[in-house]
Amino acid sequence: MSAIGELAEITGLGTGPAALIGDRELADGAPIPVINPFTDREIGATREAGTDVVDEAVAAAADALPAWAQTPPAQRAAVLRATADLIDRRGDRIAALVTAEMGMPTTLSTATQQALPATVLRATADAAESFPWEQVADGAIVRHVAGGVVAAITPWNMPVHQIIAKVAAALAAGCTVVLKPAEATPFDAALVRGCFIDAGLPAGALAIVNGTGPVTGQALAAHPGIAHVSFTGSVRAGRAVAAAAAESLARTTLELGGKSPAVVLPDADLDAVVPRILTSGLVNSGQACNATSRLVVPAAHADHIEPLIDAALGRFVFGDPTAPDTTHGPLASAAHARRVLDRIDETRRVGARVIAGTGERLSIGDSRSFVSPIVFGDLDPTATAVREEIFGPVLVVQYYRDVAEAITLANDSQYGLSAEVWSADRDHALEVATRLEVGQVKVNGVRTRERPAVPFGGLKNSGYGRELGSAGIAEFTEIQAVMA
């Protein structure tokens, strides 16, 4: 049996600390249960870190900052590479914890919460070694220097990857970090921190404070000792984080989700393309900020496209997320499943046509968190399902008559995170890509995880700033010009 198989029934993890600061574990704060959404059982609990605990974490990071900032970039890169090696070795345990915490199938958690984080760490190390730390401009030395103590506030849907994307770049820049992981996924965060410390990172350079957004997250974002807040989450929460950070003029990087279009041009191979779009749109049961939740497709091919959508849904396997043949697990919680079902019911009430799927709660084991996918058509462009991020297995088809209309439909959104373009003519696809109002465009099936040094981030209400690669490192630096 694989290591993940042996860990399929992760329970009894106990109550974790409110914070990990240096070599100390702080046990203060009210317990917060962590529920496995497949078994519907508590696997452990975390604690709520209050203002005093956040103060201690920020103070420790500030104390560690001067020495880490003065560490040569090559040495900082070496720590990142050593961390990647440890994540490779300990990754089965980390991936299994993610599956237990939020229901991600182990096949996906292994790829995105074990292999991808190690890849990002190594790519960030490479970027740190080639980064232009000093340049000359008009006779002045222009230096990129560490920006200070960073608050990293990460979500539950891709927990380890999001931690690494933020923490690796901040550490590469010479910053120290206080991490607040989502309260639903605290255990994997502790293991990841352990990898950094065992790889040689000074213990004070990375602290963890656990708790909820309104309590711990708010205290961290508003803390006057924080120089930069990097946040991933909803638009509503992002606005609150930005407002809290503004009180001390801390800089912010915000990645706030999307309603990403997949633009299928008329010459695309529909038989090959449509199933791939459904896979990317429903990855992690639709709980991905860059999921292609809007299919922008040619109306002339509707009779061909809709049976392909129905057939593609029929190939998905819902079930035990630790089983190797499961493609889709439960949503992250019963409460989140209820919110998604409410959105589906609302969409039905406004007269949407169901193209494929049922959008119903599935009865699988003891779980209350499974929702079957559904694909809607014939929706007004102002409908909630077209405009808002549902963060579940809900897709919308939008038909166009010509390419100009396809671009208009794709850009008619408050979000601007990501998009896909599909065409048999790569040059045509690239030309259309340049006209889309998003931060990242993937042409003909390129996946984000395949390009770990490519900047990721959005426009409009998808936020601002970039993660990954040299652009991600630059987010956490300040520029000093020395003139002589």
Tell me, what CATH number does 131's domain have? 3.40.605.10
List the CATH number of the domain containing 393: 3.40.309.10
Q: Are 286 and 390 in contact (CB under 8 A)?
A: yes
Residue 1 pLDDT: 30
Q: Which two tokens stand for residue 181?
A: 């992981």
pLDDT of residue 196: 98
**Sequence-distant (≥ 6) Cβ neighbours of residue 182 within 8 angstroms:** 154, 155, 156, 159
455 is a domain residue: no
Whether residue 443 lies inside any domain: the answer is yes
- pLDDT, residue 9, reads 54
What domain range is 341 assigned to? 261-450
Same domain membership, residue 392 and residue 245: no
Helices (H) and strands (E) in the chain, counts: 16, 22
Sign (positive/negative) of CA torsion 234, 236, 237, 238? positive
pTM over 0.75: yes
Single-letter amino acid, residue 252: T
**Alpha-helix runs per DSSP H in 282-425:** 302-314, 334-349, 384-387, 403-411
Q: What is the mean pLDDT of each run of 10 residues along the chain (484 residues)?
A: 41 89 92 96 96 98 98 98 97 95 97 97 98 96 98 98 98 98 97 98 98 97 98 97 97 97 98 97 97 98 98 97 97 98 97 97 96 97 96 98 98 98 98 98 92 96 98 98 94
Residues with a catalytic annotation lie at: 255
44 shares its domain with 78: yes
Question: Angle CA(139)–CA(144)–CA(148) in degrees, nearest 5?
Answer: 145
In this structure, are 438 and 471 located in the same domain?
no
The structure tokens listed for 250 are: 């801390």
Judge if 241 and 333 occupy the same domain: no
142: phi > 0 → left, psi -120 to 50 → alpha, else beta; which? Answer: beta
Q: Looking at the 3D structure of the chain, how many domains does it have?
A: 2
210/329 same-domain check:
no
**Are 14 and 145 part of one and the same domain?**
yes
Same domain, 407 and 471: no
Amino acid identity, position 203: A
- Output b/e per residue, 449-475; b: 16+ Cβ within 10 A: eebbbebbbbbbbbbbbbbbbbbbbbb
Q: Are residues 441 and 478 in the same domain?
A: no
User: What is the Cα gyration radius of the chain?
Assistant: 22
Structural domain contains residue 444? yes
